[in-house]
A and B are shown apart, each in its own frame.
Chain A
Amino acid sequence: MTIPMEALMHKKANFERDTERYHDFREELLNLADSGEIMLQRITGETAEVPTKYGRMKRIQKGHLWHHKSCGQCGHIPGYSTSIFWVMRKLGYDSLDPKDQTSCTAWNYYASATSNAAAQAAVAVRNFAAAHETGYYPMIHCGTSYGHYKEVRHELMAHPELRREVREVMKKLGKQLVLPEEIVHYSEWFHAMRHEIAAKQTRDFSNIAVTVHPACHYYKLVEGDAIYDPDVYGGQRTAVVTALAESLGAEVRNYSTWFDCCGFGFRHILVQRDFTRSFATLRKIERMKEEADPDVVLTHDTGCVTTLDKSQFATQAHGRNVGIAVMSEAQFAALAMGAHPYKVCQLHWHSADYRPLLEKMGIDHEQAWAEFQADLARLERGEKRYLDWDDVDA
């Protein structure tokens, strides 16, 4: 039996936020900056404002952004990263893709626990300091990095002894304890920019049905800082991804297990994958298929795309009711804006069959694949060492 969502949403239609419920950290952050305990990186230039869970407005800097990349995206779903870059370029906002960046290393923290609070805070602050040195404002690609950095910010604000320890480590690196005014996830940028993205849409998505998997580390860790909008699910779920998909004209369909995690589990996806695969397919993909039958699952974090996408192959062999394309909303938005499915969105790195979706989007995937192969042939002939942004738009 599925949850009677419409009845629930109707009951909650008059929901009002309690703005006093969630402590606004910014005043404390400013006090720490004023007293010289931390260096605060300010938001500059053009911004958009979006509401958070308890009503606080969060400012999102539109351009001059420092891409804090995701190791999982760059390593295994590179079209996730390139779609973020591509959309930003198409909208005319400048950004920096730095080499002076490590991952948040939270895989160590959450999976193997071979780290500690001071090390994790120092890694975060080192990246923030690196961004600050360039003048570009950090935008975090990974949901886990984003959630973990918010935890780190909380720990640094709450514990003077931790601040002292991290400051000492930073001193050895010749850096300061830098924190940004807001910690911003890329999906918040896409949410804030959804109307600008929709204005550049070239493909019709009105016949595309999607389900949304909200990423746990985006909205469950330090939850008050995530984006919620009264007009999206009555403010009961995060608005990112869903509002963007709706802005692009897609039909967002509901399903009962939206709150469930994807099953990633950090260590489980590598060493206990039977758990990951079972949870991802039995609790998520099969439920979506049965209750919503979408063309694609959209999500906004590295592990979720990997888990939901990769878990379907073996499950399909058992005759289960799976088989839904999976991608990030960044790739979905890029496709809406006319991006090449292979050169930009790199869908050949995905496992669940995305070709029926491309056909519904009006994309000739066989021709697109031939175009990509022609580019690869140029690389093989030695005409170029690498493809670049001009090539992907050719």
Chain B
Amino acid sequence: MTQSSAIYKVPDVAGHTDVSYEEKARLFAEVKSDVRFSDYLYGCYECGICVAACPSARFYDFSPRRIAQAAAREDVELIYQQMQEDIWECSQCFSCLRCPRGNNPGGIITIMREVSINNGLNSAKEALGGYSRIIYKIMSTGTQVSPDMLQPDAFPDWGPETGDVSNNLDLWRRALPSDTLHTTSTGWDVSERTLVELYLIWFHTGALSMIKDVDSGLHAILQEIMEERLEDEGIEL
């Protein structure tokens, strides 16, 4: 597809400043070069089974079929638009794996999201707004859902029980019969050595670097925490 054939082309894309066709082609090339991409796309019958099964399609202007079709047609204009908007609406439930062709639109979206993060796209920054604490928890503690996250002001719609948990947190955690679950700031007690190994994984696979462009402050904090612990262990990167 050429630049001029994109009839839906507008000065901005999903509220974000448009970029050149070449830049869009480069982003798609990054998606396509991912090791998982060839396992996720085999063509499209346009049957719509994926849409019928998709929870996000019921509540948003979102379609897993459009994701698979745009990728199959290598429509870089539409793919860029999707990377600036649609991909963050996916629920990642993988109901779309019902596809009779064996496509995995949810998997394609996973890759598109990673490329959006890697390249600091505006949609990624917006989508991860208010999400820093989760990323911080996962990357620094190795568990993402901690008991002390259950705060009534964060989850007012979850009922009064959230307040009960929050008010009694330490006592209720100490009442759990399993030795590893007496924690309040992590899901369970993760050993020091395990964290060191996890940090090495984040560094050596480039996962830590991924957030540099979308949240430089968080990246700096995590890097400092990890480097300090690794230094304490006498490990040089």
Grouping DSSP codes into helix (H, G, I), strand (E, B) and loop, the B interface class, with mixed when no group exceeds half, is helix
CB of A351 closer than 8 Å to a CB of B = yes
Of the residues A122, A263, A314, A385, contact of B205 by C-beta under 8 Å? A122
Residues on the A chain within 8 Å of B159, using CB: 310, 313-314, 351
- Contacting A at CB under 8 A, from B123-155, are 124, 127-131, 134-135, 138-139, 142-147, 149-150, 155
CB of A344 closer than 8 Å to a CB of B = yes
Q: Are B95 and A107 in contact (CB under 8 A)?
A: no
Q: Are B114 and A103 in contact (CB under 8 A)?
A: no
With both chains docked as a complex, state the minimum distance between the C-beta of A189 and any C-beta of chain B, in angstroms.
17
Residues on the A chain within 8 Å of B210, using CB: 114-116
A228 to B182: give the CA distance in the assembly, Å. Answer: 37
Q: Are B142 and A223 in contact (CB under 8 A)?
A: no
Q: Are A268 and B150 in contact (CB under 8 A)?
A: no
Q: Are A74 and B128 in contact (CB under 8 A)?
A: no
Listed residue (B158, B194, B201, B205) with the most chain A CB atoms within 10 angstroms of its CB:
B201
Q: Are A259 and B53 in contact (CB under 8 A)?
A: yes
Q: Are B92 and A102 in contact (CB under 8 A)?
A: no
CB of B101 closer than 8 Å to a CB of A = no
Q: Are A112 and B181 in contact (CB under 8 A)?
A: no
Determine the residue in chain B with the shortest Cβ distance to A385: B174
- Contacting B at CB under 8 A, from A242-298, are 259-261, 263-268, 270-271, 273, 275, 277-279, 283
CB of A358 closer than 8 Å to a CB of B = no
Determine the residue in chain A with the shortest Cβ distance to B94: A220
CB of A389 closer than 8 Å to a CB of B = yes
Residues on the B chain within 8 Å of A108, using CB: 135, 138-139, 144, 207
Interface string of A365-394 (1 = CB under 8 A from B): 000000010011001100001111101100
Known: A123-B198, A220-B94. A388 touches B177 (CB 8 A): yes
9 chain-A/chain-B pairs, Cβ below 8 angstroms: A74-B188, A76-B150, A98-B180, A110-B110, A119-B201, A259-B95, A266-B92, A349-B161, A387-B175
Q: Hey, which bits of chain A sit against chain B, CB under 8 A? A: 69-76, 78, 81-82, 85-86, 97-103, 105, 107-119, 122-123, 126, 130, 147, 154-155, 158-159, 161-162, 165, 168-169, 172-173, 175, 216-217, 220-221, 223, 259-261, 263-268, 270-271, 273, 275, 277-279, 283, 302, 310, 313-314, 343-344, 346, 348-351, 372, 375-376, 379-380, 385-389, 391-392
Q: Given contact pairs A266-B92, A391-B177, enumerate 4 new A-B contacts (beta carbons under 8 Å).
A: A111-B131, A268-B91, A278-B59, A387-B174
